[in-house]
A = this chain, B = another copy of it.
Amino acid sequence: MNTTINETTWDTQKTKRLAKINVAADKGLKKLVPNDRVVELLETVIAREDKVCIEGNNQKQADFLSECLSQCNPDVLNNLHILQSVLALPSHIDIFEKGIASKVDFSFAGPQALRLAKLVQKQQIHIGSIHTYLELYGRYFIDLTPNVCLITAHSADADGNLYTGSNTEDTPAIVEATAFKSGIVIAQVNELVDDVPRVDIPADWVDFVIVAPRPNYIEPLFTRDPAQITDVQILMAMMVIKGIYAPYQIKRLNHGIGFNTAAIELLLPTYAEELNLKGKICTNWALNPHPTMIPAIESGFVESIHSFGSEVGMDDYIEKRPDIFFTGSDGSMRSNRAFSQTAGLYACDLFIGSTLQIDLQGNSSTATVDRIAGFGGAPNMGSDPHGRRHSSYGYLKAGQEATDGRVIKGRKLVVQLVETFRENMNPVFVEELDAWQLQEKMGSDFPPIMIYGDDVTHIVTEEGIANLLLCRTPEEREQAIRGVAGYTAIGMERDHEKVKELRARGIIQRPEDFGIDISKANRDLLAAKSVKDLVRWSNGTYAPPSRFRNW
């Protein structure tokens, strides 16, 4: 063996970190940094080519720190590698346009998807990869560990203990990866207090605290106005409840974002109650606190909800419902995106969401050619977890349906809930996903598919439900998809004989096959028809943002 003494230095990261902090201290930048000196702080403690994680999800944003980073001098700070859940704010893109950062690894870029695509075209940005949230957090501990993270919390005490309030979200994952690998943790807070209501992040994990000049930005992303729910959405929601939730006895689940699933939520206290399903379905959730869940909660449908993040206006309601939500001793919620995504992956029996395009293999995508939107949490929630080992009624039943042989595993239900045409009469069902064109444009290894066809178990449209588990060949799958694709070109080209056979075998089911009375599919079935109704259901504790108040 090699017995020469190893002369390598093994604490370069730690030494670099301390040197940065000492230089900052020499400039008078100690734990509490005044907000007019943040650009100086960042130029001091970030080095060229550092990996910098900017906290920003689809909800709360470390917006002040991000703006400060975008104001740094690109001669001092450049070639940064940005790690970020969501590219949401203009400043996130500015950082690249100004030449401060050159590479990004992220999950989702909804609001900035167009500008991001342009940056790629102008070669001002190199996209490492686009991830699902949990996957990105995983890489923080393997090969994308931040040198510096810019995070946000509600308040801090003088020591630097942080209180996130209900929007804990990504903070614990980001801080843990950074603080324990000789990184630097910088937090913006809304206010400094004598004592934080509870400690969400301990002070000794935090290096610098800044009171931002204004509260951090939070987007009310999960608020859907019941007034906008259509009769078609109500019909589809009835089919989901009677045709999927009831027969598979789905108790643990996650809903995607949008009006389709909001309609289901608002039908629980009415239609599902009529079907005598209370306590039998939809009891335990991995879900943000959707306001449209209030009637189901008040009606006793729900046992528990663990949340990725919070929702604007829901804080008071949540605090008054600690039997349902995860809350701290201070009363406010503790969300946690990493744990909720883990629960969504492994502890839920069903994910249901919407999409923009579905191909004949059942692959779905929300990519359009001129926008690089990314994924968020859907690929994780909408995948069959091969690592799962516990059973449940629905998981077993789905597993049985998927095989003619001996059952060795169950199947998570992954449901796509779409109208056959979306806005501007664009068909959802297509021969080829736009994702393939985007792949070519981006030069990536794979097309940006949101959910793989192999993982999809059911497609629900206004025409009916296609159960892909029961299909035995790719040809049957294709005809099952065509059989619910309505008047799209894909739907028109169905093999009518085969579709008839699939319906006889229960692979395709129409509303009448479930005994659904289509005439009942209208807004009278909604437990709440407006945001005002939701407020009433909450006994006035839900405080919707002003843009949702029209009374």
Contact = CB atoms under 8 A, between A and B. Distances in A.
A441 interface: no
B142 A306 contact: yes
Contacts of A11: 320, 322-323
A326 B131 contact: no
Interface string A155-192: 00000010000000000010011011110000000000
Q: How many copies does the complex hold?
A: 2
7 contacts: A5-B539, A138-B339, A143-B284, A179-B329, A180-B328, A379-B387, A396-B445
Interface residues of A, number: 114
Interface in A336-380: 336, 338-340, 342-348, 363, 375, 379-380
B527 A348 contact: no
B339 A173 contact: yes
A340 B295 contact: no
A130 interface: yes
Contact of A454 (B284, B340, B386, B446): B386
B452 A251 contact: no
Given A180-B334, A326-B141, A407-B445, A135 B204 contact: no
Interface stretch (A25-33, A297-305, A459-467): A297-305
Interface centre among A300, A329, A375, A454 (most CB of B within 10 A): A329
Interface stretch (A54-62, A238-246, A528-536): A528-536
Contact of A342 (B137, B145, B340, B409): B137
Contacts of A180: 326-328, 334
A529 to B, nearest CB: 7
Given A135-B347, A409-B446, 16 more contacts: A5-B539, A9-B323, A10-B321, A129-B390, A142-B304, A180-B327, A204-B328, A342-B342, A379-B388, A384-B386, A396-B446, A407-B446, A408-B446, A408-B449, A409-B452, A410-B445
Given A300-B8, A391-B129, A339 B135 contact: no
A269 interface: yes
A385 interface: yes
A447 interface: yes
Closest 7 A-B residue pairs measured CB to CB?
A: A129-B390, A199-B202, A383-B386, A391-B445, A138-B347, A138-B346, A135-B346
